Structure formats: structure tokens, C-alpha cells
Copies of this chain bind each other. A is one copy, B any other.
Amino acid sequence: MDIDLADLRAHPSSDVFEEVLAEVADDVRELVGVGEVADYIPALARVPADRFGMAVADLHGDLHTVGEADRPFSIQSISKVFSLILATQRFEGDLWDRVGREPSGDPFNSLVQLEHECGVPRNPFINAGAIVIADVLSSCLADPLGELVALVSELAGAEIPIDGEVARSEASTGYRNRSLANLMKAFGNIQGEPDDVLDIYFAQCALTMSARQLATALRFLANDGVDPASGHRVLDVEKARRINALMLTCGTYDAAGEFAFRVGIPCKSGVGGGIVGVIPHHLTACAWSPALDRTGNSVAGRAAIEQLVERTGLSVF
């Protein structure tokens, strides 16, 4: 297919995206199932490796899909974007006194930097940072988890459930996260009791959404903070852009620099196999395929986002 890039940039049309998505699905077919499905808890381990789905939300608010775009999966770390959005909306203090905005430069759950930097996590997308955000939400909201679910559901236009089995499994195996939370508590950067804060964190990781729902819920990030379908402003321009910036520099664990270099757009991934990408002023995409590379990112999902960028010629750079 011959895409007129200049035209696509000016007027991204539905038809073009349908074709592009079909081609992307073709491009990555051989990668689906390559890698390892996360197996640290049973509910993730039993997801078949050979699944793939993808959705693109354009700036008209239209959704385009390919494959199993309606199959719900565990969003895991993608939930960190939603909790950050909620904290950005609702917390009145300075969030950035308690969590940094720098890439972590170390594997995503490292305690080294956290200790060296006195309990202030590098950014809100590493586990320690997301635990601080959960503590922030606890301190300013009466029902932090309820409000988070409400926000996600409203953005996605659907009732979004928490998978209780996943949440319980996370809680019963999450010794490293428990170590992080207690270390930050020792440094005074957690206000609640570590176990209570972790309950929120483990529950948010167990949110279950489809690629379509994720692309829908985060399409406002491609549109300067305004939901393109409803016209509703979710965040002001600057805050929306800054979440994109954080996704670009810190969104894909230890592979963030590599992602920025090769893919060139803000992304956030989760070990459930989902990955969301934002091309500001053009689209929000979500690809899902459960098998992961050694950095914890979906092999086929990552390739699909990369091919979408390649085939459309869109990039933030």
C-alpha cells in the first residue's frame, strides 16, 4: 500500500488507519508468541502466548482495530499512567517533591537508587514511584481505589473491573514491592502504613482492560489534554504534555532510551503484554500480546507500535 505521508499527517482518515493496522498485524505475525509470558503469578502465567490485538484512537475520536482488540488483559504497569493522571488532577501539594522526573538508569525495581537518593523514587513509572503516587492518593482521597476505577471507567467509556485473583496474587508474592514501600517509609516518603498503600498498588495493577479501552481512555494525551470525542478537558495542555514527556523518557522500564531512540514516541508498557503509545496531535495506540522480552516489554506489541510509526511516518522527532 502506498501511503501519502503528507496527506496522512494533515488529515488522518479512518480508512488509512484500517489499512495500516492490517499491515502492522501482518508485519508482526511472526513475533506473536515470541518471548516469555509473565509467570510470577498464576493468573498471568495461564494467558496464551499467541494472542495479538491492537487499537488506534484518532483525533476524531474514532477507533480502529485489528485482532483481539476487545479481549481484556491485565494492564499492570500501564495503570501507573492512570494513577498519575488522578494524582495530577486531585493532589494539591507538590507531587514532584516526593517523586522525581528523571529516567531511572537501572532496572525498574532497583533499590539502589532509591536508597542512594533517600527514598525519593526517580519517576512515577518505576514501581517505587507508583507506590508513592498510591500513597499520595491515599492521603488526599477518601476512597482512592474507588476514584481511580471511576476515572479509568469514565475515560474508557466502560465499567472497568479489578481482577481480584490477580490483586491477591500480587499481594502474596510482592516481596520486592513490600521491600520498596518499607524502605520509603523508613525515609519518611510514605505517609500511610506500607501494607495499606500496597493494597491500592496491587489492586490498580489488576485493572483489566482491552486494547480498545486503553486507546480510548488515553486518547486525550494525543490531543493536548482534551478527549477528542467528548470535547471534555481531562488535563490542561501543559500537564498532558508532561505526562507524554514522562512516558517517552521513563515509560518502558529500563528500555526507555532505546524506545525513544528506535520508536520515537511516548509509550507505557505493562507485564500483562499491553503497550500504549501516543503520537501527539495524531493518535493514541494500544497493542497487546502477552509474550515479553527480557526488559518486560511485549515483543510483538513493541514491534507493532514500531511498525505503526514506521508505516505512518509519524514521530515526535
* A-to-B contact residues, CB < 8 Å: 100-106, 110-113, 115-116, 122-123, 175-176, 178-183, 185-186, 194, 240-242, 244-246, 248-250, 254, 256-258, 260-262, 264, 266, 280, 315-317
Top 4 A-B pairs, shortest CB-CB distance: A105-B105, A102-B257, A179-B182, A244-B317
**Copies of this chain in its oligomeric complex:** 4
Task: Using known A-B contacts A111-B115, A185-B175, determine if residue A245 contacts B264 with beta carbons closer than 8 Å.
Answer: yes
Given known contacts A113-B105, A317-B280, is B194 in contact with A183 (CB within 8 Å)? no
Assess whether A317 is in contact with B266, with CB atoms less than 8 Å apart. yes
User: Which B residues are CB-close (under 8 A) to A113?
Assistant: 105
CA distance A190 to B252 in the complex (A): 30
Whole-angstrom distance between the Cβ of A80 and the nearest chain B Cβ:
16
Q: Which residue of chain B is the closest to A263 with respect to CB atoms?
A: B245
Taking CB atoms, residues of chain B closer than 8 Å to A244 are 317
B241 A103 Cβ-Cβ under 8 A: no
Are B249 and A257 neighbours in the complex by a CB distance under 8 Å? yes
A248→B266 contact, CB < 8 A? no
- Give the complex CA separation of A316 and B63 in angstroms: 23
Contacting residue for A175 out of B100, B186, B250, CB 8 A: B186
Whether B175 and A182, one on each chain, are in contact in the complex, defined by CB atoms closer than 8 angstroms, is yes
Using CB atoms, name the residue of chain B closest to A116. B112
Contacts of A186 in B (CB 8 A): 175-176, 179
Bound CA span A125–B222, Å: 29
Contact A261 B101 (CB under 8 A): yes
9 new A-B contacts, CB < 8 A, other than A102-B258, A179-B181, A248-B248, are A102-B105, A102-B254, A103-B256, A175-B185, A178-B194, A241-B315, A241-B317, A249-B261, A266-B317
